[in-house]
Amino acid sequence: MLTPEYLEQLPDAFVSLWQQVEDDILRDIGRRISKMDGITDTAEWQAWRFEQTRALRTDVIKLLAKYSGKSATTIRQLMQSAGIETLASDDARYRAAGLSPSDLNQSTALLNLLNAGYRQTLGTWQNLTGTTANTVARQFENELSRAWLQVSSGAFDYKSAIKRAVDTLSQTMQGVTYPSGHHDTLEVACRRAILTGVNQTAAKLQVARMEEMGCEFVEVTAHAGARPEHATWQGQIYHHGGSITYEGQHYRDFEAATGYGTGAGLCGWNCRHNFYPFFPGLSQPGYTDAELDALNAKEIQYAGQQYSRYEISQMQRSLERKVRAAKKLFIAEDAAGLDTVNAAAKLSNARQKLKQFTHATQRRVDSARLSVYGFGHSQASKAVWAVRHNTLTNTIGHTIIKIKRSAPTGPANGITQKANAKGGIDRNYYGADGKQVKQISNNGHGHKVEEALGRHGEHAHDYWWDENGKPHHLAARELTDKERKENDDIL
């Protein structure tokens, strides 16, 4: 048996992998849209839009290829651990009933079922992500057209139109198209694909095991907040192979009663129910009527009201979705070189609310659900820095955070700026680990050697860190062409 809690968190590793893909696509989109600025000619615009859409499609295909190996490995691992977990728990019940189930690794039939489940789930996911490049490119193209219309009609200037387009896509981007034409985000689609694929495979193993053991009765798990159609059959005992009266007790047919084997039923789409072998007269029923009723009892107090566990978990999910949405906004705006102060504040605010809520309701923040690639530390701290300080944007659109005191550590992958006490401006560059990698100054601040560099003493220092974690900087050097371009606004 897989518990509802196991199934609830099962897709998390896979979801965070696909959040990375979602974020990478948003960054690509942000960078591309930001370059729309300055195009005025309609023919030139059409050619540009065509080229950008084509390039985005190519990028997405490459990105998906990059993640396909990791995806397959993750699905295989999730499938194997769920298979092992579910049989271990069922086998303990068989042994308690005096039976001796075979070793999973010795059973070709079970291993074949596990493999087939893996291939099917992977295949389903590959078919879905096969629609991603076109799904994304279509929305991108539409949003570009809308932005252009706003600019060319005079309704908006470039900057506002770009911001609107970037913001809209960050919040509404769909990642897959189902055969029915229905769209979903990559995140929602991958959660469903994994949960459904793994739970179905686990169930097939369990049914095969039941048949091997000659067990005819099953008890279905129960969880709070089950959808109404599933709540009617959860937590009860059924007979596998037709309804039956056994020792004076009536048992309904397992499949007919629960819809097991159908998408809408037990172990179907997004279902967190599962089942386990039951031996009448020997096994204790897992749930009494009172316990089933208590699943939805309003036992948690929050802000002066009583809520059920399920209601609280739904409130938490809603706050988590807000954090995720704010993160996506920040990522896309940052990639587009837009001013991220508001997005950073929004993110910080959403995080704060979630933290307060989980604290007040004593629930653990589900970190897997919130982890975003490239965001864990780097973007997060950049966002935190951005919200605490004034920012400006350099020539190529990177956010620069104004600070009063330079430090050897700073915002991961970020740049800070400080007025040098001896004149001029210093810009500090930090690596992914938040350690300073270089400093660029726009004058020689009276230092003899440095004054001789560049046109008026502008120069750079590279930093290195020794094994004791101490920073050192190298002697001043000339700026590269790229550095000049980047810092043109202060040179």
Six-digit token pair at 296? 């939805």
Q: How far is the CB of 119 from Zn ion (least distance, A)?
A: 24
3-state secondary structure of 429: strand
224 versus 315: smaller Cβ distance to Zn ion: 224
String marking each residue 369-398 x if it binds Zn ion according to CB under 5 A: ------------------------------
Rounded Cα–Cα distance for residues 386 and 413 (Å): 13
107 versus 236: smaller Cβ distance to Zn ion: 236
Q: How far is the CB of 258 from Zn ion (least distance, A)?
A: 9
DSSP string spanning 110-169?
Answer: HHHHHHHHHHHHHHHHHHHHTTHHHHHHHHHHHHHHHHHHHHHTTSS-HHHHHHHHHHHH
Q: Specify the stretch interacting with Zn ion by CB under 5 A; choose among 134-142, 239-247, 264-272, 444-452.
A: 264-272
Rounded Cα–Cα distance for residues 381 and 400 (Å): 14
254 versus 429: smaller Cβ distance to Zn ion: 254
Binders in 230-249 for Zn ion, by CB under 5 A: 230
Q: How far is the CB of 237 from Zn ion (least distance, A)?
A: 16
194 versus 354: smaller Cβ distance to Zn ion: 194
Rounded Cα–Cα distance for residues 29 and 135 (Å): 13
18 versus 260: smaller Cβ distance to Zn ion: 260
Q: How far is the CB of 209 from Zn ion (least distance, A)?
A: 21
Query: Among candidates 297, 121, 108, 141, which has minimal Cα distance to 199?
Result: 121
Q: How far is the CB of 272 from Zn ion (least distance, A)?
A: 6
Rounded Cα–Cα distance for residues 480 and 470 (Å): 26
Query: Among candidates 258, 249, 250, 253, which has minimal Cα distance to 239?
Result: 253
String marking each residue 129-148 x if it binds Zn ion according to CB under 5 A: --------------------
Q: What's the chain's Rg over C-alpha atoms?
A: 29
Q: How many residues bind Zn ion (CB under 5 A)?
A: 3
Q: How far is the CB of 389 from Zn ion (least distance, A)?
A: 48
261 versus 431: smaller Cβ distance to Zn ion: 261
234 versus 443: smaller Cβ distance to Zn ion: 234
152 versus 296: smaller Cβ distance to Zn ion: 296
Q: How far is the CB of 233 from Zn ion (least distance, A)?
A: 9
Q: How far is the CB of 60 from Zn ion (least distance, A)?
A: 34
271 versus 338: smaller Cβ distance to Zn ion: 271
Instruction: Give residues with Cβ within 8 angstroms of 6, minimum separation 6.
Output: 82, 85
Tell me whether strands 399-402 and 415-419 are parallel, antiparallel or unpaired: parallel
| Residue 436, Ramachandran bin (φ over 0: left; ψ between -120 and 50: alpha; else beta) | beta
Instruction: Give residues with Cβ within 8 angstroms of 41, minimum separation 6.
Output: none
Q: How far is the CB of 257 from Zn ion (least distance, A)?
A: 13
Q: Identify how many contiguous H helices and E strands the chain contains and give both numbers.
A: 16, 16
Q: Specify the stretch interacting with Zn ion by CB under 5 A; choose among 267-275, 289-297, 431-439, 440-448.
A: 267-275
Q: Which of 204, 273, 327, 427 binds Zn ion (CB under 5 A)?
A: 273
Rounded Cα–Cα distance for residues 25 and 20 (Å): 9
Q: Specify the stretch interacting with Zn ion by CB under 5 A; choose among 39-47, 50-58, 263-271, 285-293.
A: 263-271
Q: How far is the CB of 295 from Zn ion (least distance, A)?
A: 13
Rounded (10°) angle between helices 380-388 and 341-361: 110
32 versus 240: smaller Cβ distance to Zn ion: 240
Q: Which of 165, 169, 271, 491 binds Zn ion (CB under 5 A)?
A: 271
What one-character DSSP code corresponds to residue 101?
Answer: P
Q: Specify the stretch interacting with Zn ion by CB under 5 A; choose among 194-202, 269-277, 279-287, 325-333.
A: 269-277
Q: How far is the CB of 235 from Zn ion (least distance, A)?
A: 11
Q: Specify the stretch interacting with Zn ion by CB under 5 A; choose among 223-231, 314-322, 396-404, 432-440.
A: 223-231
Q: How far is the CB of 230 from Zn ion (least distance, A)?
A: 4
* Cα pseudo-dihedral 317, 323, 324, 325, rounded to 10: 110
Q: How far is the CB of 3 from Zn ion (least distance, A)?
A: 13
Instruction: Give residues with Cβ within 8 angstroms of 24, minimum separation 6.
Output: 63, 373
Q: Which residue, judged by CB position, is nearest to Zn ion in the bound state?
A: 271
Q: Specify the stretch interacting with Zn ion by CB under 5 A; choose among 164-172, 206-214, 228-236, 241-249.
A: 228-236
* Cα–chain center distance at 204: 29
Q: Quick check: 10 binds Zn ion (CB under 5 A)?
A: no
49 versus 223: smaller Cβ distance to Zn ion: 223
Tell me whether strands 425-430 and 415-419 are parallel, antiparallel or unpaired: antiparallel
273 versus 369: smaller Cβ distance to Zn ion: 273
Q: How many CB atoms lie within 10 A of CB 336?
A: 26
Q: What is the 3-state secondary structure (H, E, C) of 193-231?
A: HHHHHHHHHHHHHHHHHHHHHCCCEEEECCCCCCCHHHH
State the first-to-last Cα distance of the chain, in angstroms, to the nearest integer.
67
Six-digit token pair at 168? 């809209």
The residue whose two tokens read 């295989």 is 76
230 versus 324: smaller Cβ distance to Zn ion: 230
User: Which chain residues interact with Zn ion by CB under 5 A?
Assistant: 230, 271, 273
